[in-house]
Chains A and B, each alone.
Chain A
Amino acid sequence: MSEYAMTSKIIDKAIPRIDALEKVTGHAVYTSDIDLPNMLYGKILRSPYPHARIKKIRTERAERLPGVKAVVIGREFPYLFGETLKDKPALAIDKVRYVGEPVAAVAAVDERVAEEALSLIEVEYEPLPYVLDPIEAMNRDAPILHEGLAEYKRSPIVKVFPGTNICNYVVYEKGDIEKGFAESDYIFEDTFKAPAIAHAAIEPYVTIAQVNFDGRITLWTTNDSPYRLQVGLAESLNIDPSNIHVIVPYMGGSFGGKGGVKLEAIAIALARKVVGYPVKIELTREEVFTSTCTSHSSIVTVKTGVKKDGTIVARYVKAIYDAGAYAEKGPTVLIQGCRGAAGPYRIPHVKIEGYLSYTNKIPGDAYRGYGFFQTQFAVESQMDDIARKLGLDPLEFRLKNLIKEGDINPLGQEVVSCGLEKCLLKVAESIGWGRKEGKYVGKGIAIGFKNTKTPSSSAVIVRLNWDASLEVYTSLVEEGQGSKHILAKIAANELGIPLNKVKVITSDTDITPWDTSTTSSRTVFHQGNALIDACRKVIEQIKDRLAEKFNIQRSEIMFKDGEFIIGKDRISLHRDINRVLRTGEQIVGHGFYEPKISAKLWEHHGIFWMYVAHGVEVEVDPETGIVVVKKAVIAQDVGKAMDKATLELQLIGGTIQGIGNTLYEELKFDKYGKIENPNFRDYHIPTALDISEVIPIIVEQPHPEGPYGAKGVGEGPLVTIHAAIANAIYDAIGVRFKEFPITPEKIALTIKNMRIS
């Protein structure tokens, strides 16, 4: 029996999410629901040009409009923001770099006055040559977006090439790629493209900023990482992080988009001009689409060398990610996407090169899957083509080459906790792989993986009260994924108290402790470990008290299933709390977790990897080109299912999001880089009518360091779905689409052209 033996009774039990009641009654508070006394409303003036020098800005008329309290322009707030490359001003300073970029902002007594004031601001621009294509942007004669690239503050992981638009470059090599190709019987080379996708969370971006007379800033904001925001702002503004107080209420979806520094900097710029008054900025849907961020559009070339028997010998991948006008998280999206670029296979010779290039468009940023789905789409599409050309079954070809426990992955990291093979077999079985269902019906499979960005750290505080209630203080952001519920279950399980005695207090940097971010599918793994540490520190303190009380050695006391065992005596932490704590007493446990790694920052490949397989069955209408995903199956290795219902819904929801990505979602840019479809009418996301059967399958290959063996979940479902659908469409109509979205127009046109020829 381990020192802290406990069963996972609560973990395995179906219990309604702890945030469900608030959400079905409309009591859950989101940032936009917050009204503060004396609050002002901010609005933003935006650039109409993709690239232009700002010659003059006149704000006097706006300032004189009754009801206007402040107008701010970039030159008055000359700070640069960015996670690993500080290149982005809150408001454009000398020049604008994309259509929609913030240029000036107004705070007024209401939104209508603020809006009217915007129309009174006069900006004189001098248009500059611009570039929209990332490959053209890397040419020597391309217009340069950031002349000061060399001077920007940056993390050592970012490699910039001053005088060009390249704002990160990575190369990973294992084995000898040339030797690998020389040893291959066949070599395949294909290029694949992914579009810019909108995160499209239903809740818009909202920030309220208030600056006190002592300069301290308070933010209520839609941001997935309160502490990273605090630290990032402090670095850029050159102030002490403790002078920034960040509060993040419930978030209405994020999918990676609500991170970094977005509205916060503009809200602070305004709030500093109206000390004491809170300033609220809430974006319109059009602003969300045109001025926040997108996924990175990409061009990925995969060259694969194989033996006749289907053994993969070598793979070279060149990935180009379109950064847009500012780096945002692009440099690390590139790094991560390239880490996955060879696919989850045993390949002795690997070389991966990645380029991140500025263009005069809305910035690319983190999107669920963080660079992986672009490369997995390429690799997994090509895998099917290779299999067919070698006369192999795509399933067998994958099974022959995929990584298993103990293998070395393409990056040279040893594989642990890998249920990939099981995921693939389950998916194949579930969709009836190999069985033909009809003329225009096809089946496709794809496998993939995704690591968590490593290292990162989490702290959690728990407070046990004298009535056996427990508070968990955590800086996780509940954005729909359900981690808040899972942390409550872990705490209840560790201490053996009922779930309704556990309160989870989230994301307020004056109250809740450090956490790197609610990103990278990391929360349950990192915070779960920190929480278990915190709970066990509570138990240790109670043991100390009991040892003293009964005059025995601490080692004579066991804790199991919520009870302290002292000889024949059993003291329940929950029921007998008054034997431990007096009225008003509390015990506090402080937990911390950071993975122990040997490599230097960012060089490590990931403390855990999620493994995933998708299988889909589609039916294509050859006349209209409409694709119906009749059945989609996802199997994901999650280590340990921490809440079956929440987990299954993450798998289902991510799959549905991916179906939308693959079949119809794409931000369209006009010749000036302006987004042409900035609304839900023209940018279609899946509705209830678009979905059919989605089957989630949970595979549990425990991770040695995960809480109860758990890994992450959230991003997995958006890694393989795109290729699985493309492969199914190939199976249905014999056409390989190397670019998504695979729209009805593209399919119908292709079929028509085939018939003509």
Chain B
Amino acid sequence: MKKTSVTFTVNGTKYSLDISPNETLLDVLRERLKLKDVKAGCLSGECGACTVLVNGKAMNSCLILAVEVDNTEIVTLRGLSRDEKLHPLQEAFIRESAIQCGFCTPGFILTAFSYLKENPKPSIQEIKKAIAGNLCRCGSYPNIIKAIYKVGAGNE
């Protein structure tokens, strides 16, 4: 299979990689760059565990072919807490006890991060819609919603 050279940044670091046409962004992040904070839950865009930011927008990395991310900026959960300082969403998830098994947590935080950029002061119903593509089988939704709501501008 013919490989394509693809250049992109992940959490501020620039990478140039030879990518096969069938490699997903999830494969590249988890298996080649070893960024294990990106979780693999279903590989078909149904659970949201593998959510990352592509140019600031939350996307399921399992549904994106890695050749498509040329010249983009990717952020994974680890990229949110730069300089060892937690992002307010991370702090809110801790404070509101919005975590159980934690496997879906990276996806929820990144989805919320992207959504709050778009809509800085969402209502509860708007938050529910925004995170409807992320599944949490532990059922932590009420606390997750509360955490996101409180981070919304002016809601604190």
Contacts and interface: CB of A to CB of B under 8 A. Distances in A.
Interface of A: 16-17, 19-30, 32-33, 35, 199-204, 250-253, 255, 284-285, 479-482, 645-646, 649-650, 652-657, 679-681, 685-689, 691, 694
B101 A252 contact: yes
Given A28-B102, A202-B47, A480-B101, A653 B140 contact: yes
B39 A252 contact: yes
Query: Which of B95, B100, B128, B145 has most chain A Cβ within 10 Å?
Result: B100
B135 A202 contact: yes
A17 B42 CA distance: 27
B59 to A, nearest CB: 17
Given A25-B78, A26-B37, A687 B132 contact: yes
A200 to B, nearest CB: 5
A215 to B, nearest CB: 31
Given A687-B135, A694-B142, A32 B40 contact: yes
B142 A480 contact: no
B114 interface: no
B42 A285 contact: yes
Contacts of B133: 687
A571 to B, nearest CB: 35
Contacts of B76: 26
A676 to B, nearest CB: 16
A652 B42 contact: no
Given A26-B37, A202-B135, A687-B132, A17 B141 contact: no
A22 B94 CA distance: 10
B67 to A, nearest CB: 17
Nearest to A33: B36
A25 B82 CA distance: 10
Contacts of B109: 24
B66 interface: no
B117 interface: no
A285 B43 contact: yes
9 contacts: A24-B94, A25-B37, A29-B36, A252-B101, A252-B104, A480-B138, A481-B100, A653-B139, A681-B44
B87 to A, nearest CB: 9
SS of A interface (majority): loop
B2 interface: no
Contacts of B93: 20, 24
Contacts of A203: 39, 41, 101, 103
A691 to B, nearest CB: 5
Contacts, number: 156
Contacts of A25: 37, 77-78, 81, 86, 90
Contacts of B24: none
Given A30-B103, A685-B135, A691-B141, A20 B94 contact: yes
A25 B105 CA distance: 9
Contacts of B102: 19, 22-23, 28, 250, 252, 480
A257 to B, nearest CB: 10
Contacts of A694: 142
Given A201-B137, A688-B132, 16 more contacts: A20-B93, A24-B93, A25-B77, A26-B37, A28-B102, A29-B36, A32-B40, A202-B101, A252-B39, A284-B43, A285-B47, A653-B139, A657-B137, A687-B133, A687-B135, A689-B132
Interface string B128-156: 11011111111111111100000000000
B105 A23 contact: yes
A24 B99 contact: yes
Nearest to B48: A202
Given A20-B99, A35-B34, A652 B142 contact: yes
B118 to A, nearest CB: 17
B140 A680 contact: no
Query: Which of A16, A252, A284, A482 has most chain B Cβ within 10 Å?
Result: A252
A250 B24 CA distance: 26
Interface of B: 34, 36-44, 46-47, 49, 76-78, 81, 86, 90, 93-95, 97, 99-106, 109, 127-129, 131-145
A694 B103 CA distance: 22
Nearest to A655: B139
A26 B52 CA distance: 12
A648 to B, nearest CB: 8
B141 A649 contact: no
Contacts of B131: 687-688
Contacts of B129: 688-689
A17 B136 contact: no
List the 6 closest A-B pairs by CB distance, nearest first.
A26-B37, A252-B103, A480-B101, A653-B139, A23-B102, A656-B139
Given A19-B99, A203-B103, A480-B100, A285 B140 contact: no
A677 to B, nearest CB: 12
A680 B139 contact: no
Given A33-B36, A202-B135, A480-B101, A688 B77 contact: no
Nearest to A691: B141
Given A252-B101, A649-B97, A26 B106 contact: yes
Contact of B140 (A250, A649, A679): A649
Given A200-B137, A657-B137, A688-B141, A26 B77 contact: yes
Nearest to A482: B100
B145 A688 contact: yes
A29 B102 CA distance: 10
Contacts of A17: 94, 97, 99
Contacts of B81: 25
Contacts of B141: 656, 686-688, 691
A19 B103 CA distance: 12
A681 B60 CA distance: 15
Contacts of A481: 100
Contacts of B36: 26, 29, 33
A357 B97 CA distance: 42
Contact of B101 (A251, A645, A681, A689): A251
A679 B44 CA distance: 9
A679 B46 contact: yes
Contacts of B127: 688
Contact of B41 (A26, A255, A285): A285
Contact of B138 (A21, A26, A653, A681): A653
Contacts of B105: 23-24, 26
B81 to A, nearest CB: 6
B90 A202 contact: no
A630 B141 CA distance: 15
A680 B40 contact: no
A255 B137 contact: yes
B122 to A, nearest CB: 12
Contacts of B104: 202, 252
A202 B97 contact: no
A16 B94 contact: yes
A691 B139 CA distance: 9
B46 A681 contact: yes
Nearest to A643: B97
A645 B97 contact: yes
A680 B43 CA distance: 11
Nearest to B104: A202
Contacts of A691: 139, 141-142
A24 B109 CA distance: 8
A687 B129 CA distance: 9
Given A24-B86, A649-B143, A202 B78 contact: no
Nearest to B102: A23
B75 to A, nearest CB: 11
B78 A201 contact: no
A27 B39 CA distance: 11
A559 to B, nearest CB: 32
Contacts of A657: 137, 139
A415 B129 CA distance: 46
A570 B128 CA distance: 54
B84 to A, nearest CB: 10
A699 B142 CA distance: 21
Nearest to A681: B46
